[in-house]
Amino acid sequence: MSTASAPGKIILFGEHAVVYGRPALAVPVTQVHTDVEITEGQGTGIRIDAPNIFLQTQLSALSSTNPLRSVIEKTLQTFSISASPALTIRILSTIPVASGLGSGAAVSVAIIRALAAHFGQAIDDERVNQLAYDVEKIHHGTPSGIDNTVITFAQPVYFVKEQPIETLQVLRPFTIVIADTGILAPTRESVGDVRKLWASNPKRWELVFDKIGEIARAARQAIQNGEWQAMGALMDTNQALLQEMTVSSPELDKLVVVAKTSGAEGAKLSGGGRGGNMIALVRPENAEKVAFALLDSGARQTIVTVVQ
């Protein structure tokens, strides 16, 4: 059996503006992950077994634009494997879907690496990242590439679209509480709506994106200087700009307020918005209190993660 695993991720700063060339910061979340196991199958063809999404099917029965089919076919092409091998690919994931934790990219990265292990192929991180990015385009339309990058490299990243990856040196670890609104929100839709806003008044929205870019740069400095508390106010300002962009929601806003009133240093939505997850920067001793308050106010799930 060949196996591979990929973590989830959260965006700390810069979502949406990153699609327009501004920097964003994202970190892996290892508490959630996608695990892929590949075994020799019987008969012919590739069988997919993904119990979390109640999917059990032959690969050939999926539509040609299905991201699972696409990542498997693209990877086999990369390895110059033309005949359809007899395999069972089992996908197990604890990353909630459509909630800003990078489930789609994690599935792609884990499948690519499991197939590489199965066929004894060496594949470097850049190639994994590129393949996963090609598949992200099917999920999102115009993705920046931040999800596949942070998940492939599994390190905190300072990301600028189409620029070489820059990993972040975290001088002092900091603690984030992640809370899920439980509302599924496809990123493609919020990205499309921001595109419409931008098209209606590019000058105005370019200025907003500039401000978000400045926030991401300031946050990088704070992280690299070990001044993590400085990120609290930066998160609050970033959240206000995301609200202006109409990608927050009453549920996200409520959890942001609850996080702040229960002791967080700062809080904001994370990812595409409109639902999915929010994040709160906390002193380690406050993590449990903030997480409880969020659950008490309707969060479906919370994860406490230390970024280091």
Task: Name the residues that contact ligand PMV, by CB under 6 A.
Answer: 11, 15-16, 18-19, 100, 102, 140, 143-144, 146-147, 187, 191, 271-272
Distance in Å, CB of 12 to ligand PMV, minimum: 11
Nearer to ligand PMV, 72 or 216 (CB): 216
d(CA 80, CA 90): 22
Distance in Å, CB of 93 to ligand PMV, minimum: 15
Task: Name the residue among 101, 72, 109 with its Cα closest to residue 88.
Answer: 72
Distance in Å, CB of 191 to ligand PMV, minimum: 5
d(CA 152, CA 167): 12
d(CA 287, CA 43): 51
148 near 136, Cβ under 8 Å? Answer: yes
Q: Show the beta-strand stretches assigned E in 153-212.
A: 157-159, 166-167, 174-180
265 near 231, Cβ under 8 Å? Answer: yes
How many CA atoms are closer than 13 Å to the CA of 269, on its beta-carbon side? 31
Q: Give me the residue whose beta carbon is nearest to ligand PMV.
A: 271
Distance in Å, CB of 252 to ligand PMV, minimum: 12
d(CA 286, CA 264): 7
Nearer to ligand PMV, 37 or 145 (CB): 145
Nearer to ligand PMV, 19 or 280 (CB): 19
Task: Name the residue among 147, 159, 154 with its Cα closest to residue 187.
Answer: 147
Distance in Å, CB of 272 to ligand PMV, minimum: 3
Distance in Å, CB of 37 to ligand PMV, minimum: 25
